[in-house]
Structure 1
Amino acid sequence: MKLSSSVFEPHGEIPRRHTCEGDDSAPPLHWDAVPPATRSLVLIVDDPDAPDPAAPQQTWVHWVLIDLPPDTTGLPAGGQPLPAGARAGLNDWHRTGYGGPCPPIGRHRYFFKLYALDATLPALHQPTKAAVERAMQGHVLASAELVGTYRKTRP
């Protein structure tokens, strides 16, 4: 599988519009080459550099989406509307939906990870990344990753 965005290149800068310094809307995403046996897709976006890339202490979760239909080929800018059947999990702000880059210090990396599963996930209500990863075990057919970076322009 391949995951891409029309607004930033792999390892390139995520545009300000898609961060806390802009309108905090999700960047558009596109994917292809989903395996034929796929029954659902999962998208997880996280930042392993929190709070400081020089001394990371945790991975901060920005977005969790589950049960994206296998025939979906992407998400529009803003991430809405979600495809029929897709469900949002909780990010580390304890809310559903996308929370854009907002690093307190330095340039952080943001990992957009897409997983093709051979199953739909059980009835998880607003699951965390950890709950989704546990439920995915043994069901991942393929995965793709897109990394973007961001550094705040004002403190």
Structure 2
Amino acid sequence: MPLVSAPLDGRAVGLVAVPDPVFARLMVGPGTAIDPVREPTEAVSPLDGVVISLYHHAYAVMDAEGHGVLTHLGIDTVELKGGGFEAPVKKGDRVTRGQGVIRWNPAAVEAAGQAPISPVVATDATADRTREVIEDAHVTRGEALFTWA
């Protein structure tokens, strides 16, 4: 069962708390969301794998067994057109759990009028296959967030 680690420090709040119906209704996949601490930080890889998708505000990593995890930094942050986001990796890079993927500042995102809450979802999974999903607790980067079968 793949273990997905928290890519950010903050409070796990569950996907129903995400102010975007695409995530809140599990249309992208099951998982949880993190309301991040409001300070400059680096979002890290939630598992060992390859960066299969990378945008200024979001990234997906797939492990060797084909399990993909999307981390979306904030809601509607695409409107910031990359401002305030910096990626030290690129699409196709191999990353390890806990390795930095995108540097950003949730406080600056919030000051720009966007919600910094960050969904972390298992793509191509169903809700009945996710286990031990953290939805109401403080989490630290690298801590277990959920698993799936």
Same fold (TM over 0.5): no
- Computing the radius of gyration over CA atoms, which structure comes out larger, 1 or 2? 1
Category of TM-score, reference length = shorter chain: 0.3 to 0.5
The TM-score normalised by the length of structure 2 is: 0.32
The TM-score normalised by the length of structure 1 is: 0.31
